[in-house]
A and B are shown apart, each in its own frame.
Chain A
């Protein structure tokens, strides 16, 4: 191409003008794209902020310490969400304790150990497809398996495991992505100095991909905390005016597992119940509960993001 370029000064000047125009057009396009991107991001954020503000304005009159420490009641001004938020917190705890080890374990196995054959492919396709299964289907599965087959009953344990199943595909897929993002040189270097596969995985792969894995866990937990349908299917309660036994007790051995058998309700169920009440005053309670639910999600996510930041800071390649 360059050899064909005419050497006449006039032609070269014309070339230069054309090239400058092309560059300007490129810059302009880039700016337009950036503007559109900012616009879309702002739109998504605005919708979230509008929804949050709407809830906050509606729910503000009911947001108080009492609202967090009272049990549900037929009197809207005395009704609180104590059993609901404690229930949500306990169910999330079980979900996290079961989904994180299983999900990350499965991801490590599929990524590092499993051979490339039709069976692995089958598992892969299924894991990806599971992410698209409607949540109510998990509820039905859990009702048959956990509640009746295993005899867990309508308990926090059954609920936590149900939601763990629901978020497993998300955790597995994102953990595999994170493992894949670790440069191949790291693996080769580890093997080069004589590390076994397990040493390579536990000393290098997992620590370096922890940030990405956490992102998957955050997404999964945020999804789980808003779920209603599968929990109603397995028999979540609506009115419950007592708390599960606390896991930490004053007597030896200081740890009690009684709470996993307790009946429960969660915030979204309490909200739904209030929204569908005849008494208009309960709508305010529903909005206030919505604010708390959003704050809980936000708190959970920001904690995870903070941890992820701390982890990433330590990675030095």
Chain B
């Protein structure tokens, strides 16, 4: 008696599961899907948190971390609405997007300063890009093993290098800025995707040198020392929010972006999220220890959203040594050369889609 009953129950449960499995996936209303870079994650997470509070739970936002490259793969298949990117979209990714009919709006959301750090007792306070190049270029592998191999003025001590893993946008940008070619670096250094591992490595090794995003330096200033950076014979410049904003901390300042799928903007929830992002970025970006863009830039982004200004302004590559002004002038230059008209057209298409759906 008991046995048959429990068997029956099991069968019902199983049938339910199977029926569920073969049902079509219900459209998830009020959901904004974000994925991509772990560097941009803290900013988007902060915005998503506040946005959901302001909507009183009516709109749901999910944020995943699959890296800038992994995220673009999903974004260009149209699986996500918003893409977090710690570098601009690359030419190959633009091709994928085009093939799948995904058009996007590019919105720079903050600046990050890649910081070169050493142990807090290290005698050095500043370093030039040229010396960094001698340490990091592929030719240095197995040759530049001591600090004074890179520059005779440096101490005669073994050199222990720590850096971001080869899959990260941080590694791409650092190698582009220092050695002149993206992903071109020596291979014999301690690589980690987790920046806290690098913080720990540098704080425990008197002869270490490493690099990571400014937020990790800001949180760990008691353990490690950030080096001032000089470029092309200029004066050494301290890594700080002010120096990023005034454009002197070069070439290691980099913009970080979000990309919004143009079709998703027909969905009022995605549009509301993107607009909320731009309106609240100045406060939230600073809160998570990144450098906010000037207010003008966010206003420009808002108008890009409202006018549906499509495409990238970065030319499908990493641009090194871009100041905030240059980034904005890049933005401002583009609308005249046809981008605007194309944008207007797709916007209509987008609306038509919205009406049909």
Contacts and interface: CB of A to CB of B under 8 A. Distances in A.
A280 interface: yes
Contacts of B196: 275-278
B65 A273 contact: yes
B21 A275 contact: no
B211 to A, nearest CB: 14
Interface stretch (A5-13, A188-196, A234-242): A234-242
Contacts of B31: 263
Contacts of A260: 17, 20-21
Contact of B23 (A236, A242, A257, A277): A257
Given A74-B287, A241-B48, A236 B64 contact: yes
B221 to A, nearest CB: 11
A241 B52 contact: yes
B195 A257 contact: no
Given A278-B195, A279-B219, A238 B41 contact: yes
A74 to B, nearest CB: 4
Nearest to B42: A74
B294 to A, nearest CB: 23
A237 B288 contact: no
Chain A, interface size: which category? 20 to 34
Nearest to A232: B66
Main secondary structure of the interface of A (DSSP, over half): loop
B206 interface: no
Interface stretch (A17-25, A113-121, A151-159): A151-159
A263 B32 CA distance: 11
A239 B195 contact: no
Interface string A244-274: 0000000000010110110100000000010
Contacts of A236: 64
B13 interface: yes
A151 B28 CA distance: 14
A238 B71 CA distance: 13
Query: Top 9 nearest A-B pairs by Cβ distance?
Result: A257-B20, A239-B63, A278-B215, A278-B216, A276-B194, A278-B219, A74-B46, A237-B64, A237-B62
14 contacts: A74-B287, A97-B13, A97-B17, A151-B25, A235-B74, A238-B63, A239-B44, A240-B62, A241-B48, A241-B49, A257-B19, A257-B20, A258-B26, A278-B215
Given A278-B218, A278-B220, 7 more contacts: A74-B287, A238-B45, A238-B64, A240-B63, A241-B52, A261-B28, A280-B220
